Amino acid sequence: MEKLRIAVQKSGRLSEDSLKLLKECGIGVPNGNNQLKINAENFDAEILFLRDDDIPEYVQDGVADIGFVGENVAIEKNKVTEIIERLGYGKCRLSIALPKSKKRKKIKDLDGIKIATSYPFILSKWLKQNKIKAEIHEISGSVEIAPRIGLADAICDLVSSGSTLFSNELYEFETILKSEAVLISGKNLSKKRKELLDKLLFRIRSVRKAKYNKYVLLNAPNESIDKICAYLPGINSPTIVPLAQKGWSSIHSVIGENDFWNVIEKLKTAGAQGILILPIEKIIE
Ligand code: ATP
Ligand code: ZN
């Protein structure tokens, strides 16, 4: 029987979150230490554990059908694959960083310098777009030490907190790509595999939507209901249930994480009491 072949980073920054997301989608991955391939539980899928750099090529070549990979890697490898979903974890940025001792102000000041990077494709495209003539020196690891050992004048590397740059006396000069984990897919999936992928995508979207929303329960005097409901979008509209205490109701709704604190404050001033906020596991629409 055909299974959906899912490539996941074997061990690294994306491994844990990718397996966690699969688990939240009801797809269990048994602990098979050091196995290249393992059958998933509860879903017609096979998990392939690979180095992240190899995932785009395996997906292009049809060895895997889909892969969880950093957008930075998906773009850099420039293979025939498609980004089908952004996943919201593994957030980082690809930035040009310079030694603190060499302050440069404008992008144009990069003209003529030598930049060490593991991302020559993305960097050269950016340099071309910005009409900068700089030399690219490709290295595969420990890019951040290149300026100190005299290998390059600057680096172009992934940054999240900036602590690696800081401890190497570099500063972030310009971000050239913002990245997060994405799901990539090959172009020629069989009908059965396409169906499995659609099923998985539906689950991923339900899980992700739930993460960005909270379930809210609150009590309010009936005369405040209209005012309170005006602040609560809900999925369709809030649920209102009368309380045993006369003249009072309980209101249930869903609010997004982005305007969460704003809404809560407004609810309180509108007369809401005993506000409970609960996490949502899945939202099926
Ligand atoms: P592999 O052994 O699979 O080749 P790796 O060392 O190349 O692993 P990791 O360091 O595990 O890769 O990073 C995997 C991905 O995690 C990156 O491509 C990027 O998308 C994401 N990421 C998030 N934050 C950071 C960060 N601060 N530094 C590097 N990568 C990050
Ligand atoms: Zn890698």
Q: What is the CATH number of the domain that holds 26?
A: 3.40.190.10
Together in a domain, 82 and 190: yes
Together in a domain, 26 and 67: yes
How remote is the CA of residue 132 from the centroid of ligand 2, in Å?
27
To the nearest whole percent, how much of the chain has pLDDT over 70?
Answer: 99
What is residue 285's predicted lDDT score, i.e. its pLDDT?
A: 81
Together in a domain, 198 and 225: no
Together in a domain, 232 and 270: yes
What is residue 31's predicted lDDT score, i.e. its pLDDT?
A: 84
Write down the mean pLDDT value for the chain: 95
> What does the pLDDT average to over 146-161?
96
The pLDDT of residue 81 is above 70:
yes
Is 188 a domain residue? yes
Confidence of residue 113 (pLDDT cuts 50, 70, 90): very high
User: Among all ligands shown, which has an atom nearest to the Cα of 72?
Assistant: 1
What is residue 241's predicted lDDT score, i.e. its pLDDT?
A: 95
What is residue 98's predicted lDDT score, i.e. its pLDDT?
A: 97
The pLDDT of residue 235 is above 70:
no
How remote is the CA of residue 108 from the centroid of ligand 2, in Å?
31
Structural domain count of the chain: 3
User: Among all ligands shown, which has an atom nearest to the Cα of 92?
Assistant: 1
The pLDDT of residue 4 is above 90:
yes
Can you tell me the distance from the alpha carbon of 1 to that of 3, in angstroms, rounded to the nearest whole number? 6
Instruction: Ligand 1, residue 180: give the atom nearest the CA.
Output: 20
Together in a domain, 275 and 229: yes
pTM: 0.90
How remote is the CA of residue 52 from the centroid of ligand 2, in Å?
5
Is 284 a domain residue? no
Query: CA-based angle 47:48:54, to the nearest 5?
Result: 145
The domain boundary, picked from 179, 199, 226, lies at: 179
Can you tell me the distance from the alpha carbon of 186 to that of 60, in angstroms, rounded to the nearest whole number? 5
Confidence of residue 102 (pLDDT cuts 50, 70, 90): confident
For 27-67, the pLDDT digits (tens) are 999 987 688 999 999 999 999 999 999 999 999 999 999 99
> What does the pLDDT average to over 111-120?
98
Can you tell me the distance from the alpha carbon of 77 to that of 192, in angstroms, rounded to the nearest whole number? 28
Domain that holds residue 72: 4-88+182-210
Q: Please check whether residue 268 is in contact with residue 275, taking contact to mean a CB–CB distance below 8 angstroms.
A: yes
Together in a domain, 75 and 37: yes
CATH code of the domain covering residue 229: 3.30.70.120
Together in a domain, 38 and 80: yes
Confidence of residue 237 (pLDDT cuts 50, 70, 90): confident
What is residue 234's predicted lDDT score, i.e. its pLDDT?
A: 64
Together in a domain, 40 and 12: yes
